[in-house]
Amino acid sequence: MTTKLSTVRRRPKNRKEQILDAARTLIVEVGYPNVSMAMIADRVGITAGALYRHFANKSVLLGAVIEQSFAEVAPAFGSTVTLDHALAESCEHAVAHRDVGVLWWREARNLPEERRDELQRRLYATNREYRDLIRAHRPALPDLQAEELAWGVQAILASPGTHTTRIGNPEYVELMTRAAVRLCAAELGPPTEPQDRAPSVLQPASKREALLGHAIVLFGENGYEGTGLDDIGAAAGVSGPNLYSYFESKSALLQVAVERGTSALFLLLHRVLRENSEPAGALADLAYGYVELALDKTILTSLLLTEQRTLSADGHARQREYVAEWTALLQAIRPHLDTASARILVHTALSVVHTLARLEHLQVNGSLAEDMTAMALAVLFSD
């Protein structure tokens, strides 16, 4: 008698991990708003119904993806852990999981408020762990500046997701670790009181310029996906058909905003090169000028940090050209650096600036611009 083989398909034990990996890849590639549960199911090779048995909805799945990223990169903090050990371990994890910055800084705003608050609490708790290690290493450092340095470390760990330059993992870990160690040793001046700035009540006479100015602020605060064209129009006092007589779409407005910021960066570059005769002085002035533009919200730091996919091809080309100028200056100062390593250090330093410029609570320190510049230069000159 012939025994009939069973055709019952067994569900893989790692199905949940397969779903998380597929969802994570798609979210990083095209952005959470552009990913559907059907796309994720198709990537895994299962039905949508099977996917919903594991995750009730896309928001729950995003929360699980970000939770996974925390588990991957957090070092083993403890009473016996030194700063150097924590930095080395963190950098190794960050290079192995290069998308964590995109998940934390770009996609977390798509979580429900409760989950988003939970993520923020975890980021701040991690910051306190690094801050305590830095204070143990530098006991005379004021708390506020220890916190700034800790955010700088977290910016370094998030930086691999902000660019596409690639070197071998061991070389990248060593490069990042040296940068993090040097940043934590950066010499910072004493904190000062911030200058009082009366809120501006004046607006450009041009409605187009008013729209552009409000767009830069709103894109920076809420991200591209989280900002509607009508939101920008309402802020500028322009609505209805009049809105579309200035910009035909949100995408068109974004590109003009990016071009405006890029033009400001190149104007800064030309001024710095004209006023300096040595690469080291030029790079220091360029870093400080960049920090000022970031803090003044002239450039879209949130977009430059995590939303490169929203840039046009021309926008990407202009950004690469600009980064190449920093890279050339750095190599002129440190000729032993190969181009890929120099470019990574530039992207890492810019990530520090972009991250700290977004943290409004740090601006209680009137010396924040100087501190951010010192941190960026510490990364660039890390040996």
Domain ranges of the chain: 207-380
Q: Residue range 99-103: average pLDDT? A: 85
Pick the range with the lowest mean pLDDT from 208-222, 265-279, 306-320: 306-320
Calculated CA dihedral for residues 322, 323, 329, 333, nearest 10 degrees: 170
Nearest 5°: CA angle at 290, between 147 and 95?
Answer: 55
Give me the pLDDT at residue 314, please. Answer: 82
Helix axes 313-333, 250-275, angle to 10 degrees: 20
In CATH terms, 207-380 corresponds, of 1.10.357.10, 3.30.470.10, 3.40.50.11390, 3.30.540.10, to: 1.10.357.10
pLDDT at res. 41: 94
pLDDT band at 5 (very low <50, low <70, confident <90, very high): very low
Cβ-based neighbour number of residue 171 at 10 Å: 14
Separation between Cα atoms, residue 253 and residue 247, nearest integer Å: 6
Quote the CA–CA distance of 221 and 235 in Å, as a whole number. 13
Whole-number average pLDDT of the chain: 88
Per-residue HEC secondary structure of the chain comes to: CCCCCCCCCCCCCCHHHHHHHHHHHHHHHHCHHHCCHHHHHHHHCCCHHHHHHHCCCHHHHHHHHHHHHHHHHCCCCCCCCCHHHHHHHHHHHHHHCCCHHHHHHHHHHHCCHHHHHHHHHHHHHHHHHHHHHHHHHCCCCCHHHHHHHHHHHHHHHHHHHHCCCCCCHHHHHHHHHHHHHHHHCCCCCCCCCCCCCCCCCCCCCCHHHHHHHHHHHHHHHHCCCCCCHHHHHHHHCCCCHHHHCCCCCHHHHHHHHHHHHHHHHHHHHHHHHHHCCCHHHHHHHHHHHHHHHHHCCCCCHHHHHHCHHHCCHHHHHHHHHHHHHHHHHHHHHCCCCCHHHHHHHHHHHHHHHHHHHCCHHHHHCCCHHHHHHHHHHHHHCCC
Percent of the chain clearing pLDDT 70 (strictly above): 93
**More confidently predicted of 312 and 204:** 204
Quickly state the pLDDT bin for 8 (edges 50, 70, 90).
very low
Q: Model-level pTM?
A: 0.88
Interatomic CA distance for residues 7 and 177, integer angstroms? 52
Residues near 159 by beta carbon (within 8 Å), at least 6 away in sequence: 101, 176, 347, 348, 351, 352
Amino acid 101: pLDDT: 83
Nearest-angstrom CA–CA distance, 352 and 349: 5
Q: Which of 154-163, 237-246, 285-294 has the highest mean pLDDT?
A: 285-294
Give me the pLDDT at residue 6, please: 45
Q: What is the pLDDT of residues 243-288, one digit of tens each?
A: 888 888 888 888 888 888 889 999 999 999 999 999 999 999 999 9
User: How sure is the predictor about 305, in pLDDT bands with cuts at 50, 70 and 90?
Assistant: low
What does the block give as tokens for 58? Answer: 């896309």
Which range has the worst mean pLDDT, 10-14, 58-62, 350-354?
10-14
Q: Which of 36-50, 92-106, 276-290 has the highest mean pLDDT?
A: 276-290
Q: How far is CA 148 from CA 107, 154, 238, in A?
A: 23, 10, 39
User: What pLDDT is stored for residue 109 in this prediction?
Assistant: 82
| Per-residue tokens: 232 | 């920008």
| Number of CB atoms found within 10 A of residue 6's CB | 7
Alpha carbons 313 and 281: distance in angstroms, whole number: 32
Cα separation, 195 vs 197, in Å, equals: 6
**Is 65 a residue whose pLDDT tops 80?**
yes
- In this predicted structure, the answer to whether residue 241 has a pLDDT above a threshold of 80 is no
Choice among 247-251, 308-312, 343-347 with the minimum mean pLDDT = 308-312
Mean pLDDT over 158-168 rounds to: 90
Give me the pLDDT at residue 127, please.
Answer: 93
Selected residue with higher pLDDT from 370 and 112? 370
Cα 166 to Cα 73: distance, rounded to the nearest angstrom: 19
Higher model confidence: residue 323 or residue 7?
323
Q: d(Cα 152, Cα 100) in Å, to the nearest integer?
A: 15
